[in-house]
Amino acid sequence: MSISTDQETAPIAAPRNGSTSNMFRSFGSLFGAGGGSEVARPPTPQSSDGYVEFGMQDPERSGRTLGTFAGVFSPVALSMFSGLVFIRVGYIIGNAGLYVTLLQFIIAYAILLFTVASVCAISTNGAIEGGGVYFMISRTLGLEFGGSIGTLFFFANVVGSAMAISGCTEGIMDDFGPGGLFASTDGLPDGKWFRFFVSSMINTSMLLVCLVGAALFAKTSVLILGTVTVCLLATFISFLAVGATDHTILVPLANTIYNKSNDSVIAYLPYTGLNATTLRDNLGSHYGPDYTANGKFADFSTTFGVLFAGVTGIMAGANMSGELKSPSKSIPWGTLSAVGFTFVAYVILSFLMSCTTPSVTMRNSYLFLMPVNLWPPFTAIGILTATFSTGLSNLIGSSRILEALSKDQVFGPLLNFVLRGTWKGNPICAVVISWVLVECILLIGSFNLIAQINSVLFMLSYLATNLACLGIELTGAPNFRPLFKYFTWHTCLIGLLGTLIMMFVINPIYASSSIILCLILVIALHLFSPATHSAQWGSISQALMFHQVRKYLLMLDPRKDHVKFWRPQILLLVSSPRSCCPLVDFVNDLKKSGLYIIGHVKLGDFSGAEDAVDTQPWWLFLDHMRVKAFTEVTISRSIREGVHHLIRLSGIGAMKPNTIILGFYDNEAPKDFFQNGTSPYKTDGFNEGETHNFPIRHDGETKHFEVQEYVHILCDTLRMKKNLCLCRNFQRLDKNFIAISKHVKYIDVWPINVFNPTSGDPFDVVSLFMMQLAVIMLAKWKHLRVRIFLCETNESRTISTFDTHAPQMDVFSKLKLEQSLKELRIKADILEIQEWSRDTEFTQQARILKQFTAQADDALLDDGDEIAEDKFNRSLLYMQRVNQIIRDRSDQTALSFIYLAAPPKPTLPDFNDRSANYVELLTELTADLPPTILVHGVSTVTSTTL
């Protein structure tokens, strides 16, 4: 008698690293395949001068030449001065007053200080490359959040560049336009479109610098900062030296002020110099219209938006980490000192303005500093250098962020043209795209309106930075060891909440829109972006989930389980994944949001390192199948012992399998679904390289385990109180065909123990377990109906011979079943089957089978060989008759659930013979049926209580 395995249970013998002398063999249908391969550890690279490549590097050889001042302090201070220091501090004080202005500076710098702590913590936990916030967020929060925040940070730099250009244009027009201080005759023409033309020319000049000499700009940042500082000191001195004047400060042509007493146009604005009355008048708020924004009235949110937009350069130092000699020291000290320096400068400037300049002047001429300066070109030079350098810095930064997004393939091949458009390390395409977007933003025109958008986008970036640092701190990851220690989760949380609140204070519409856009990008990247980077970079989401899962697993008490909330927690034991794809896919639907583990046993031992279990190909298989499952692979000296390991040790805590599913042990040759041209699971991904470790047993090859071991595993599963399912004919399952076919209509349940039909009870534990599984599948295949076949047995026929109301008894059984199904909320059609009671020969064969499979130790000892053989043959005939009954009613069946009788006990003296007979009888029972599950439940899984 020859017995082999079905497609789902094909045994395999996998050579290890090409060796045929020492093989891993695996179990048919029960277990998955996969050969291990030894991974050699590469030697640690070391240079000739003794510096280890992965550790300490020679700064001169690695290109790290910048110190703290040139590499961090200068770019941060220059970015934080931007256009605000010369052209908008007066606007803020003139409208909000000194008290509110100082409060706004305190709020803004508090947010910046807490964010700087997070930036320093992340940036000193590892080297930061190009991309700034994008690089930190993507490598900390993962691809989805990193890509979305990086995209918004790219737009923030674009808007920041447009804001600086707008400020530069405003300074040029007020200097050289009609009535300008340096204008000859009428000066340059003025108007919305002419200002856009000037802005475009400035933007184009920045483009040329980026294309030709962007690196030179970075090296001259110290000189530019020195120029701006000298101009600022000249402004401070001028406040102290220049006295009162009424005819120096002209009203800009863009503004018109009427004298209400005589209804005349005011041409000049007052300047008092140091004056206590002026200071007293400037302490409170005097909100008025903004003449650069079509007369829109200023308020707290607009002034704070402009203020914050000018101090958003704290990332400039972290962006330079790849060129710093000592990033862990330079980034914290350089950034913090620049923040402190600019804060002191802004406070002094605010106080001197409040003491010398009336609010009406600050509200109506944003460039009043120039005419009151001892040497007016100082202010002009300061405006042009500060705004031009800030705009150029943001344009360079935005192009580098876009380049980083394209290198990381965040949007797949969509940005590949950016990489192809790189020349000598300069991302030409990225620069041009950034330039075009800046042009679009310049159409807004108003510096103050652009500043609000800029503030919201940068705040969102800072919010994400604080969130990243907070998350990684709360997870307690051992590898998070930043050299910067002056931060806690409290500072991260305060920075996060502060940025979130002030975003909505500045502009609720912009804030809501940016957050919604960020979430849309997160979802889009999660669904469509390649997932390879998350494994390379690491994602904080994994650490957070681990932290939460561990906490909830400890809270999940198995002693508090209730049958109302039972769900299948499945361990599917497979051989080569090539042969069981439909079964793996089907069980994924059957799990009903429960635990799903795919287990595999490799024959071998741990005598050598080459025998280590490699589960990476199995995870790749899960990705290919798109199933929500875990994988468990073990090495054991026998299949049975390996199954013990998997059943007892799979899962954790209360999340452990309660249902074990195996393939069937039969004669059919396995089918390779990876190679079948019509298979929906076809792939070439496991046919070469390291993933070529899912071999399959070919037809005619010898199996590596016996049928007795298979039945032993069934017995062990039931003894461990696990529900048992045997799956056959699943190589025929086609979910797509079932979904569209109008011929396939039913899921069948046969709640009768065909090995012992006299005790058939449609309400025992096994039958109810089958019905539960059928209802679960009905939720997946909503267009099908469940059919339950109520079989009248000879037991009920025996009772009916003493009862003249036998037909009424049949009706009573059906009504009882209908009532029970109603209480269980199961919708099903009930069909009556009477062959077991009406056919005398059939009934006699059923009795012989019952005697033949009796579990008593001496049941067969009194039978001779001929009698035993005769009983077995008649039992086979009986199973063939039962199979015919089921087949006759399965023409429109998608799936059948059949009652699985308990296997013979291993303690019986003739267990080996009984095992072979048991499997052969099951083989006859399920021959040529639709995909069939033989079910034996051991636990109650249904409830009628609320």
Q: Is 827 exposed, middle or buried (0-12, 13-18, 19+ CB in 10 A)?
A: exposed
Query: pLDDT value at position 869?
Result: 78
Tens digits of residue pLDDT in 113-126: 999 998 888 877 77
Of 25-34, 69-78, 191-200, 675-684, which gets the smallest average pLDDT?
A: 25-34
Helices assigned H by DSSP within 177-220 = 192-219
Residue 129: count of CB within 10 angstroms of its CB: 15
Tens digits of residue pLDDT in 403-447: 888 888 888 778 888 888 777 767 888 889 999 999 999 888 777
Q: How far apart are CA 317 and CA 72, in angstroms?
A: 4
What percent of the chain lies above the pLDDT cut of 70? 79
Query: pLDDT value at position 39?
Result: 35
Q: How far apart are CA 787 and CA 791, in angstroms?
A: 12
Tens digits of residue pLDDT in 459-508: 888 888 888 888 888 877 777 788 888 888 899 999 999 999 988 988 89
Tens digits of residue pLDDT in 542-556: 777 787 888 888 888
* 330 against 662, higher pLDDT: 662
Q: What are the φ and ψ backbone dihedral angles of 932, each rounded to 5 degrees?
A: -130, 140
pLDDT at 156 over 90: no
Question: Strand, helix or coil at 875?
Answer: helix
Question: Strand, helix or coil at 833?
Answer: strand
Q: How far apart are CA 245 and CA 584, in angstroms?
A: 87
* pLDDT interval class at 654 (50, 70, 90): confident
pLDDT at 33 over 80: no
Tens digits of residue pLDDT in 256-298: 776 656 566 777 888 998 999 999 999 999 998 888 777 788 8
Q: How far apart are CA 628 and CA 264, in angstroms?
A: 78
Q: Average pLDDT over the chain, rounded to whole?
A: 79
* pLDDT interval class at 38 (50, 70, 90): very low
Which helix (H) or strand (E) is 40 found in, with range? none
pLDDT at 196 over 60: yes
Which helix (H) or strand (E) is 30 found in, with range? none
pLDDT at 458 over 70: yes
Amino acid at 81: F
* 926 against 126, higher pLDDT: 926
Amino acid at 185: T
Structure tokens at 548: 């939460």
CB 934 within 8 Å of CB 923: no
Tens digits of residue pLDDT in 293-305: 777 888 998 899 8
Q: How far apart are CA 428 and CA 933, in angstroms?
A: 62
Query: pLDDT value at position 534?
Result: 52
In the DSSP assignment, the letter for residue 69 is I
Of 149-153, 396-400, 611-615, 820-824, which gets the smallest average pLDDT?
A: 611-615
Q: How far is CA 215 from CA 42, 665, 785, 878, in A?
A: 36, 70, 71, 88
Q: What is the mean pLDDT of residues 377-406?
A: 84
pLDDT at 922 over 80: yes
Greatest mean pLDDT among 49-63, 566-580, 812-826, 839-853: 566-580
Query: pLDDT value at position 52?
Result: 38
Question: ∠ CA(493), CA(498), CA(499), 5° rounding?
Answer: 105
Query: pLDDT value at position 260?
Result: 59
All domains in the chain, ordered by first residue: 74-533 (1.20.1740.10), 563-672+703-795+808-858+865-936 (3.40.50)
Nearest CA to 221 among 392, 343, 381, 351? 392
Beta bridge partners, 605, equal: none
CB 482 within 8 Å of CB 125: yes
* pLDDT interval class at 598 (50, 70, 90): very high
Query: pLDDT value at position 485?
Result: 82
What percent of the chain lies above the pLDDT cut of 90? 22
Contacts 24+ apart (CB under 8 A), 767-771: 767/899, 768/824, 768/937, 768/940, 768/941, 768/942, 769/723, 769/935, 769/937, 769/939, 769/941, 770/897, 770/898, 770/899, 770/935, 770/937, 771/821, 771/824, 771/826, 771/828, 771/942
Query: pLDDT value at position 354?
Result: 94
* pLDDT interval class at 127 (50, 70, 90): low
* pLDDT interval class at 173 (50, 70, 90): confident
pLDDT at 667 over 50: yes
Tens digits of residue pLDDT in 529-546: 665 555 566 666 777 778
pLDDT at 66 over 50: yes
Q: Please report the DSSP string for 271-324 in residue order.
A: E--S-HHHHHHTSS----EETTTTTEEP-HHHHHHHHHHTT--TTTTGGGGGGB
Query: pLDDT value at position 483?
Result: 80
Q: Is 865 exposed, middle or buried (0-12, 13-18, 19+ CB in 10 A)?
A: exposed
pLDDT at 67 over 90: no
Query: pLDDT value at position 106?
Result: 94
Structure tokens at 568: 């299948």
Query: pLDDT value at position 53?
Result: 37
Query: pLDDT value at position 46?
Result: 42
Helices assigned H by DSSP within 507-634 = 508-528, 532-537, 540-555, 581-590, 616-625
Whole-prediction pTM value? 0.65
Query: pLDDT value at position 908?
Result: 82
Of 117-131, 254-268, 369-383, 818-832, which gets the smallest average pLDDT?
A: 254-268
pLDDT at 97 over 90: yes
* 851 against 392, higher pLDDT: 392
Structure tokens at 145: 């959040």
